[in-house]
Structure 1
């Protein structure tokens, strides 16, 4: 079968491969892949920055954002032929650590977890894969056109879940939320904020293209100025860019008792002048909380599936700005001005 893979650590080694069909030992459920979404992680793997092939393999099949249909499943699995499913990206470490043993592999304590298309497991950019029922989530059939957005939604579903858990440490009645970055993660974070009934402000650099209208049509407010200049003082801030200057703003420019969640992974080497004393004073006197969040466990996949099912399907579909056939994969990695989410069409190739 066809698959899109790289030689990990080798820059620009991305190629279309012929690989064997998945073995039954890989899982009891056979899935036909429909689509795979691309993100910054995939681009970094293609550039050779990281990525780890499965044991015994020289290549790593790419793709962690995914959507597929069940071809066959055993009786009693809760899945049937034709069901729409998404494979869970991270799998618990084999020990397992205390967190993985509780199903919280997103909080793995020893780093021995694996991740489809990233670390030690082939990804979903292939015609078929196998997994066990507990490694996938069933979706509402109405999400057939947008279900590939589930995985990025899980990231912000976790961010919101943890933010709310932290807020409940004391009095917590948020009214204003800020999201930095209007890429897929930022827009989906804004969606979840709007669904919570909050006044949502989204910050990004662009002044035209689809992003401002997507934010407006969500019922949120779009800004292309800085958080500092805007004067917005939020109770909750979800940072989705990883840009150091923006990260610092979300940490220091907000209301009292604010909770800031950092989800954007920053490049290293960038230095900023920071008044640590002033930042500390504001954090202590303001009861601030700043925390980082990565990946997601099954509860976040289920919360994300519920959020997408409640969302306007037309709005979600507008996030997918380009769909590229698998054999034309190189085009998918060529950045276009109005790109929001680029998706590989696997089934139609």
Structure 2
């Protein structure tokens, strides 16, 4: 997987270079339970291209969340983002939480939701359905730039089983073939698109499986690549599929499980590292408290963006909201960028100079190209 990781980094950096020259919120449930340059630059986003004469921003803005951020333990974090949007826009905010990626994508594409926080693949899908859906901001990397704005797609196995994937002083994925495997959702970047692309590339290069496609990986059976395939519905669900013994290998991302696990051995996000579920982990990890898993593959992925439907939110309000995200007040908000020693269950960890930065649609072209789509 080292070759694949390097390829992803090259793609990411190439696009970055090209792209550079709680409040009073309410909650709805859908699908079940569960510094940057500012001023004139903010007006240059693709999101700001809507004609205000044609857009009448609603009195209430709806923020839709993917299943990964829809859990009860994320409520305060969602409300903090809602408060930011309310203060900037002067509009009421409602939250739409989901248990299905498809519901979230359809909501932002058809305008029943106005803003969302989506993985790159889910954003690309929403944009393909309606090109008025555009990115607002994403969280920068430790450097405070988009250059290292990435998280990690993991393939993991239960602790004690990692020796079956050993390759010298590292690990390889040769032996995942024939195993029981868990993905997140076929709309997930790090829980499906990146893992499938990596598996296909590896087995084509190392096992002469030239005809292997993503379709071959989604259904299990005796004559299939995997003996059984499950979809967790969320990154948390996929991780629990692994630790509860339902599968042998699972794909999920580091950021979606960070509030439930702690590093037990090795370096953060490194192949061979071991993580342990916290003793007081909230659902769904409370059922696997104390369990450990080992990372056998770790691939960098572009950070996910906050996105907006420019048909339902005016350019004026988009600029106000974007400026609020990029502000020092937001950067220094410990309930948005959570300090390392905090017990608050947030979405973003304070790490170096990280903050929100405006991002363009073209930055996500590597994700489009990952599955054969055309760059924009």
TM-score by length of 1: 0.30
Higher relative contact order at CA 8 Å, sep ≥6: structure 1 or structure 2? 2
Q: Which has the higher helix share?
A: 2
TM-score by length of 2: 0.28
